[in-house]
Amino acid sequence: MSWMELSLDTIPEGVDWVCTLVAETITIEDIYITEYQEINQPELVAENATHPSWAFTIKLYLACDVHLRTRIDKIANLLFPLERTGLATAIQTNVVEEKLANANILNPVIHHIGKRFVVLAPNVPYESETADQVTLRLNKSFSFGSGFHPATILSLKLIERYIIPGMNTLDLGSGSGILSVAMAKLGATVLALDNDSVAVQATQDAVLCNSVEQQVTVMAGSLGSGSDLGHWMNQETIDHVSTIQPTKSFDLIVANILARVHVALADDFQCALRQTNADGGILIASGFTIDHEESVAIAFTQAGLELVEREQLNEWVAFAYRLV
């Protein structure tokens, strides 16, 4: 059987967008992600020379049937904004007899984050380099949180610094489940919430894949007024989800979500954190760029939270705030 291979190169933050945008047009098994390799096609050299930061190559496979042209056009339209904004290259097409077999084994993506975290696929052989290294194994998913996006990287770096074994934590907007798994592997008990059914399933899969189901509870839900905000990514409205009341329950909350949701939930964050020994609970907030950090910072300060640390990667920002 012949396949149409659609190929494009992306910067790190483009990977999650590609997977999310094509979710309704292709199965997850037909998406292959590998590390970017220098190209040998002369006609593409000039285009890529002006953008030296390509990090990954994504290949999508479509069956060569009567619907092929319609599906190609739909995917091209969906991904064009990524090309226009510099997150990805234009799509290249090629007819092949086989898909990119065993890509994760032959050319595995092994992603080191912070001092301890290593993100990789479930079937990639890997031996820890140090005794305290923490592996996070993730299946491909249509949910945000591949580990490549700067907002996820910043969240993991702060989680590494602030999680203490025995903490009761909340992962709000759990997406792929990567942050929930990371906190659990550092010894925390985790409540993972998302208001998207695909994300809830992805988180549950990640929890099982990493054998942390005894520490992580996964629910379709939100914190406080988050249930009234609709779908956070501005997709179709979803059914009503459970509301977790903010009642001084958590030692640490991590929320990798949009700036407007942070602003709307600032008071709920404050009410959901509790005093831990001599210190107040910690909020790790990410998912926004420097263009929105002031509005987020003002909302948190007005809610009675105090800035402890700020991290930045490219234009993406993450905060650690403490209950005072």
Contacts (Cβ under 8 Å, ≥6 apart) of 84: none
Q: What is the predicted pLDDT for the residue at 28?
A: 81
Q: Provide the residue-wise pLDDT of the chain in tens; the chain has 324 residues.
A: 789 999 999 998 888 889 888 888 888 888 888 888 875 544 444 444 445 579 889 999 999 998 899 999 999 999 999 999 999 999 999 998 888 765 544 566 888 999 999 998 888 888 888 889 999 998 877 677 678 899 999 999 999 999 999 999 999 999 999 999 999 999 999 999 998 888 899 999 999 999 999 999 999 999 988 877 765 554 444 566 788 899 999 999 999 999 999 999 999 999 999 987 678 899 999 999 999 999 999 999 999 999 999 999 989 999 999 998
- Would you tell me the crossing angle of helices 14-21 and 68-84 to the nearest 10 degrees? 150
Are 203 and 286 in contact by the 8 Å Cβ rule? The answer is no
How far apart (Å, rounded) are the C-alpha atoms in residues 152 and 149?
5
**CA proximity to 253, closest of 166, 185, 178, 322:** 322
Q: What is the predicted pLDDT for the residue at 44?
A: 47
The radius of gyration of the chain from alpha carbons, rounded to an integer in Å, stands at: 20
| Ranges for all domains in the chain classified under CATH 3.30.70.260 | 3-105
Chain centre to alpha carbon of residue 117: 15
pLDDT digits (tens, 9 = 90+) for 203-212: 999 999 999 9
Q: Are strands 31-35 and 117-120 parallel, antiparallel or unpaired?
A: unpaired
Task: Please report, as a single letter, which amino acid is at residue 137.
Answer: R
pLDDT digits (tens, 9 = 90+) for 35-47: 888 755 444 444 4
Q: What is the predicted pLDDT for the residue at 46?
A: 47
Q: What is the predicted pLDDT for the residue at 100?
A: 75
| Ranges for all domains in the chain classified under CATH 3.40.50.150 | 111-323
What is the fold of 3-105? Answer: Alpha-Beta Plaits (3.30.70)
What is the fold of 111-323? Answer: Rossmann fold (3.40.50)
How far apart (Å, rounded) are the C-alpha atoms in residues 83 and 47?
12
Q: What is the predicted pLDDT for the residue at 315?
A: 92
Q: What value does the mean pLDDT of the chain take? A: 87
